[in-house]
Chains A and B, each alone.
Chain A
Amino acid sequence: MRKHIFQGMIHAPLTEAAPAPDDAALAELAQAVERTARRRLGRSLAIREVDAGSCNGCELEIHALNNAFYDLERFGLRFVASPRHADVLLVTGPLTQNMCEALERTYRATPDPKWVVAAGDCAIDGGLFAGSPACVPGSIGAAVPVDLYIRGCPPRPIDLLKGLLALLEAQA
């Protein structure tokens, strides 16, 4: 194990350069954040991920944000285990009827000020699952107020990162 740790010290990091925050997302957010009781939290956001019916593709790419290439925590962004600790709910999936109550309760359990990011095409309008009686019409936005949408099926980690950075910029 020592060898692995030592090599980790002498090799250059794999980490990608930080992307610029997504311009479109920034514009969208500037508006959204105006509406909230804005409080300066410093450059730090705690994120609670909620799968509201995803195919798990979005989760795979959200996971990737923690790998050595994207290294989310260097931006002060980190995933937390409870909505009680969260500033941001990162929600995926077409919002199944069976997850609707759990999402609403998770939202209520998150202290103010809070933001909701809906990630993935499903989370925007149901995506390919739109129209299914097992999904809530209008997807995530029908149950909780969404501040930022990130497109993709699934969104690439770099797009997730851009969106989250935009959120950080907007609320700082």
Chain B
Amino acid sequence: MAVLSEALAKAQPCPAHYPVPRAVVGAEAWKQAAQGFAEGRMTLLGLWGERDAAHMAVRDTEEGSIAVLSLLCPNGRFPSVGAVHPPAVRLERTMRDLYGLIADGAKDTRPWLDHGKWPHSRAEARAPYDFLPAEGENLHHIVVGPVHAGIIEPGNFRFTAGGETIVRLEERLGYVHKGIEGLMAGADLKRGAQLAGRTSGDSTVAYAFAFARAAEAALGCEVPPRAVWLRALMAELERLANHFGDIGAICNDAAFALMHAHTGVLRELVLRTCDAAFGHRLMRDSIVPGGVAHDLDDRGVAAIRALLAEARRRFPPLVKLYDDTASLQDRTVGTGRLSLELAQQYGAGGFVGRASGRNFDARRDLVYAPYDQLHFTVPIRNDGDVNARVWIRIHEVEQSLGLIEQILDRLPAGPITVPLPIGSDACEGLALVEGFRGDVLVWLHLNREGTIARCHLRDPSWFQWPLLEAAIEGNIVADFPLCNKSFNCSYSGHDL
């Protein structure tokens, strides 16, 4: 029997958790699950806390099944997962910062999101941050951030270099921690959806989509087909806008500004089309629990069709330009290589995982409507470098264009919202949505009156940021911006 089914068989199932089971396990089973991650038999999808419980979302690698395992921690402690499975380390440090839960046996107990600046900060967090040592002859440090040279989000990076070569990068994040999960507690679903949509602005559709699906799963509410299809349409437009923008931005970080100028035009065209079709350039607050906030009229359809034609005209020559420019390839090929082992261990989502051979896409592997009725392929490469990540995104652009066309061709008619059946019992829901960056996880626990008791949002970046540290090792300092952009992790989505 697969590990997860085994764990569930022995555990205490929780009623009213949808669509996948949640079960309360004992400390032994919790440790076994941790061991399952370490052995690669399960993938950690999320790890989060509450005042007196710890939860993990897991996927059985063999069966592909998903469940949430919970451990009650009345004394505020739980056995560390990070002690045997490093991807859990930052999540556990965060559980300590936000909910006071202590991971027994954890090796790294430094504060993470808590920088000692909150009214309720812990004493340890007020002390200067303890960066990891790097020892050796002639090593020097380069410290950048939190305010960077470009128009990007804040984070602190500490490089240790021997000459030009990076021997260690240590990230320090948490600067944009806004307390989103704290604000969620007690909020109604409308405000919850708005907050979710502001977790990472570039993935506002993906977050609102995941939040809505989690809420609807919890409440047992069926959304009208038209709304389901419109959601996917928005999600693909968002993917397109981000991929266009980032393909150019990566080239720009290799000093190839021409590509950036051209893909910037494509990105702007997508945003203008979204504005025309849905009334907002980023489609913010366009997906709401129960459906979508804006219907698509004929003018909107025409605008999107025009965009498809324009993208198909403009994009292929740019791909050729990328492929034909040896000086650009010289920078991207072989740079910032990430191994398949690490991508799998960390469950790296999105193009970061797929460029290193991790064959996973939530739209296909955790299929949700309407993707079960749409045709698309999931591009995979094995080279794992900056170039591979660029190519995955190029292919994903092509796939998204095809998906958008299919959606427009087959968009069902009918209503776009349904009233939410609020007021039954307390209930819980889990949803994963494939954003442009990878799978976004939302876990939602609703009170009887439909307000939010606890909402956890897990950005794909949690499992990608640590991999950037690994991928950069042995590269030259000057290639960091290029590598960083090719990962393009979210700071806000991570910092919450």
Contacts and interface: CB of A to CB of B under 8 A. Distances in A.
B375 interface: no
Nearest to A99: B175
A15 B180 CA distance: 38
Interface string B275-288: 00000011010000
Give the interface size bracket for A toward B.
35 or more
B154 A102 contact: yes
Given A55-B204, A97-B117, A128-B191, 12 more contacts: A57-B198, A59-B151, A59-B201, A61-B281, A64-B268, A97-B118, A102-B154, A128-B183, A129-B198, A133-B118, A133-B120, A135-B179
A60 interface: yes
Contact of B176 (A3, A53, A69): A53
26 contacts: A14-B265, A50-B147, A51-B154, A52-B154, A55-B178, A56-B200, A57-B198, A57-B202, A57-B204, A59-B151, A60-B202, A60-B282, A64-B267, A81-B150, A82-B149, A96-B178, A98-B177, A98-B495, A100-B117, A102-B147, A106-B147, A129-B183, A133-B118, A134-B118, A135-B179, A156-B281
A21 interface: no
A128 B434 CA distance: 25
Contacts, number: 143
A86 to B, nearest CB: 11
A56 B201 contact: yes
Interface SS of chain A: mixed
Interface stretch (B55-63, B256-264, B297-305, B445-453): B256-264
Interface in B334-382: none
A127 B118 CA distance: 19
B271 interface: yes
Contacts of A101: 117
Contact of B149 (A60, A81, A156): A81
Given A96-B178, A129-B179, A55 B150 contact: no
Interface residues of B, number: 52
B317 A4 contact: yes
A102 B175 contact: yes
Cβ-closest 8 pairs across A and B = A57-B201, A134-B179, A81-B149, A132-B179, A67-B264, A97-B117, A55-B201, A56-B201
Most buried by A among B178, B180, B183, B267: B178
B419 interface: no
A99 B199 CA distance: 17
Contacts of A3: 317
Contacts of A94: 178
A97 B116 CA distance: 9
B117 A64 contact: no
B490 interface: yes
Given A54-B176, A96-B178, A134-B179, A64 B258 contact: no
B325 interface: yes
B153 interface: yes
B492 A54 contact: yes
Nearest to A100: B117
B150 A53 contact: no
Contacts of B133: none
